[in-house]
């Protein structure tokens, strides 16, 4: 993505200039119809990932929390869409104050129309990026599933978009300081997966375990839902990664192929390790490996060869398996749906792997550029720091205002009934 933004940035600066002198700029850069069509489709694909994530998560919760889990992701899609068009897009991609935050030039999408940004309409670029913001916030909900007040989810999500997502997005993609430093993030290994994964871990630690975990049985209530969710996520991820080329070109194809390979590799490696380690491969393990592979390839997708994608997916599967199966039980944190163990770990690995394997439009360590690995490490480190501090501050605010956890009785009764007064199944 950065490769294309580099060429897009002067265009954006020009646009800002022309905003004062009238609409004459539009003729300067040309909109490419094929690029526009592909990014339109990709925007819809990324949107579809949110309900995909909702059922992926919901299948892993207990029956009494199925609707609340779906509602959290779905509500966030809508909440962040509104936040994005009013404030978020401007704070992330606004041109004014450069390296730290985007400013309010695009407040309420003022000045954001169908004029070109790169080779697609500016408004489309805004919509595509908005879906990323929405799914990133939704990912975090897996960490505190089954025990959080709905009001807390709403307030937390809104604040998190302002405090963590928008600045980070600006730093990495919007012309901010990490981008100037040369940090590469093709489709969101840093902006989406490290940020959500690390914030999820902080939230899981702050909010605490579910009552009875891990002593009581809390098996997933409907893994067929989770399997359907995995299918939607994999499908949507093509828009997420290949769409991030922001063009219908070779870069998109590179990212598309890498995405598919890493998803398959992650799935296989998780299933085989489980088979060897536990005696039987599980379906939940296989789909966990899929998401591990997909998360790992996200920052690297457009920068690496197919064989590098295979290695990134395989290693991603191994690392996430270790995080979920070994690390979590050892440290006994209830990251309920493994947002950190999968997205956080995969995003961090993929970000570093980009610094190792990049060979298309960028150069990594294995191709003679150790500085890239350093830049990636700085990008990951800064993101972890921002996510930890930002999330802790937000949790304090939420705790002091609406409160975070439901009562013991409500937790036992389930969030569907107590937070939404409805049930997922009336059989």
Partner 1 sequence: MKKVEAIIKPFKLDDVKKALGDIHIEGMTVSEVKGFGRQKGHSEFYRGAEYTLDFLPKVKVEVVTTDELTPKVVEAIMAAAKTGKIGDGKIFISPIEDGVRIRTGERGSDAL
Query: For partner 1, which is the closer residue by CB, 215 or 408?
Result: 215
Give the separation between CA 161 and CA 112, rounded to whole angstroms. 20
Indicate the residue among 142 and 313 with the shorter CB distance to partner 1: 142
Helix (H, G, I), strand (E, B) or coil at 67: helix
Taking the complex as a whole, how short is the minimal distance between the CB of residue 328 and partner 1, in angstroms?
A: 7
Nearest-approach distance from CB 228 to partner 1, in angstroms: 17
Residue whose CB is less far from partner 1, 268 or 362? 268
Instruction: Tell me which of 63, 282, 359, 363 binds partner 1, using CB under 8 A.
Output: 282
Task: Decide: 290 and 346 in contact? Cβ < 8 Å.
Answer: no
> 3-class SS at 421?
coil
Among the residue ranges 152-160, 217-225, 343-351, 375-383, the one whose residues contact partner 1 (CB under 8 A):
217-225
The least distance separating partner 1 from the CB of residue 210, rounded to whole angstroms, comes to 12
Among 280, 400, 409, 427, binds partner 1 (CB under 8 A): 280
Q: By C-beta, is 218 or 315 nearer to partner 1? A: 218
Cβ atoms of residues 40 and 125 within 8 Å = no
Element (H, E) at 415: helix 415-420
Q: What is the DSSP string of 18-62?
A: HHHH-SGGGGTS---HHHHHHHHHHHHHHHHHHHHHHHHHHHHS-
The one segment of 43-51, 71-79, 282-290, 355-363 that binds partner 1 by CB under 8 A: 282-290
CB of 217 to partner 1, least distance (A): 5
Determine contact, residues 136/188, Cβ cutoff 8 Å: yes
Choices 119-127, 192-200, 216-224, 378-386; region in contact with partner 1 by CB under 8 A = 216-224
Q: Which is nearer to partner 1, 95 or 229 (CB)?
A: 229
Cα–Cα distance for residue pair 188/182, rounded to 1 Å: 15
Q: Which of 10, 214, 306, 381 binds partner 1 (CB under 8 A)?
A: 214
Residue 326 or 389 having the CB closest to partner 1: 326
72: which residues sit within 8 A by CB, 6+ positions away? 54, 138, 141, 145, 150, 153
Min CB(324)–partner 1 separation in Å: 5
Question: Is the Cβ–Cβ distance between 134 and 80 less than 8 Å?
Answer: yes
Q: Which stretch binds partner 1 (CB under 8 A): 82-90, 117-125, 284-292, 353-361?
A: 284-292
Closest separation in Å from C-beta 150 to partner 1: 25
Indicate the SS3 state at residue 46: helix
Our CA angle for 157, 161, 165, nearest 5°, is 130
Q: Is 92 exposed, middle or buried (0-12, 13-18, 19+ CB in 10 A)?
A: buried
Cα separation, 426 vs 199, in Å, equals: 35
Judged by CB under 8 A, the number of residues near partner 1 is: 18
284 touches partner 1 by CB under 8 A: yes
Distance CA 427, CA 424 (A): 10
| Separation in Å, CA 143 to CA 246, 281, 416 | 31, 25, 17
Binding mask 32-61 for partner 1 (x = CB under 8 A): ----------------------------x-
Q: 139 and 46 in contact (C-beta within 8 Å)?
A: no
Whether 71 and 421 have beta carbons less than 8 Å apart is answered as: no
8 Å CB contact between 170 and 92 = yes
Interface of this chain with partner 1, residues 299 to 358, rule: CB under 8 A = 324-326, 328-329, 338
Within 363-382, the residues that bind partner 1 by CB under 8 A are: none
Pick 62 or 122: Cβ nearer partner 1: 62
Selected binder of partner 1 within 82, 180, 224, 278 (CB under 8 A): 278
Q: With respect to partner 1, which residue has the nearer C-beta, 253 or 283?
A: 283
Contacts with partner 1, 95-134, as mask; x by CB under 8 A:
----------------------------------------
For residue 214, is the peptide bond before it cis, meaning its omega torsion is within 30 degrees of 0? Answer: yes
First-residue to last-residue Cα distance in the chain: 48
Shortest distance in whole angstroms from residue 185 CB to partner 1: 27
In the complex, which residues of this chain contact partner 1 (CB under 8 A)? 60, 214, 217-220, 278, 280, 282, 284-285, 288, 324-326, 328-329, 338
């Amino acid at each position: 993505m950065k490769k294309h933004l580099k060429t897009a940035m002067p265009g954006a600066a020009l646009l800002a200039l022309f905003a004062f002198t009238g609409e004459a700029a539009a003729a300067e850069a040309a909109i490419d119809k094929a690029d526009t069509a592909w990014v339109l489709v990709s925007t819809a694909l990324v949107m579809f990932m949110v309900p995909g994530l909702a059922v992926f998560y919901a299948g892993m919760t207990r029956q009494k929390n199925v609707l609340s889990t779906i509602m959290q992701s779905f509500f966030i899609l809508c909440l962040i869409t509104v936040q994005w068009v009013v404030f978020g897009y401007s704070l992330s991609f606004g041109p004014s104050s450069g390296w730290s935050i985007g400013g309010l030039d695009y407040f309420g999408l003022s000045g954001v129309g169908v004029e070109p940004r790169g080779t697609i309409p500016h408004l489309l670029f805004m919509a595509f990026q908005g879906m990323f913001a929405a799914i990133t916030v939704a990912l975090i909900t897996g960490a505190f599933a089954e025990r959080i007040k709905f009001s807390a989810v709403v307030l937390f999500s809104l604040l998190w978009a302002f405090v963590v997502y928008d600045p980070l997005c600006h730093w990495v993609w919007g012309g901010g300081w990490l981008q100037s430093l040369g940090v590469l993030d093709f489709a969101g290994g840093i902006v989406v997966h490290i940020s959500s994964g690390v914030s999820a871990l902080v939230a899981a630690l702050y909010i605490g375990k579910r009552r009875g975990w891990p002593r009581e049985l809390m098996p997933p209530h409907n893994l067929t839902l989770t399997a359907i969710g995995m299918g939607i996520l994999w499908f949507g991820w093509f828009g997420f990664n290949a769409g991030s080329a922001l063009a219908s070109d070779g870069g998109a194809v590179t990212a598309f192929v890498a995405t598919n390979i890493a998803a398959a590799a992650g799935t296989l490696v998780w299933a085989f390790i489980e088979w060897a380690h536990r005696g039987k491969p599980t379906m939940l393990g296989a789909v966990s490996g899929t998401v591990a592979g997909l998360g790992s390839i996200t920052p690297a997708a457009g920068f690496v060869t197919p064989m590098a994608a295979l290695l990134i997916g395989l290693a991603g599967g191994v690392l996430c398996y270790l995080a979920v199966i070994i690390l979590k039980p050892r440290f006994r944190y209830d990251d309920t749906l493994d947002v950190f163990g999968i997205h956080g770990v995969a995003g961090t690995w993929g970000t570093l792997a980009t610094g190792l394997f990049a060979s298309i439009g960028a150069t990594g360590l294995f191709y003679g550029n150790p500085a890239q690995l350093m830049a990636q490490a700085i990008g990951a480190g800064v993101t972890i720091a921002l996510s930890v501090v930002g999330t802790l501050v937000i949790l304090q605010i939420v705790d002091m205002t609406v409160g975070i956890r439901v009562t013991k009785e409500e937790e036992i009764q389930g969030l569907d009934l107590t937070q939404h007064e409805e049930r997922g199944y009336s059989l």
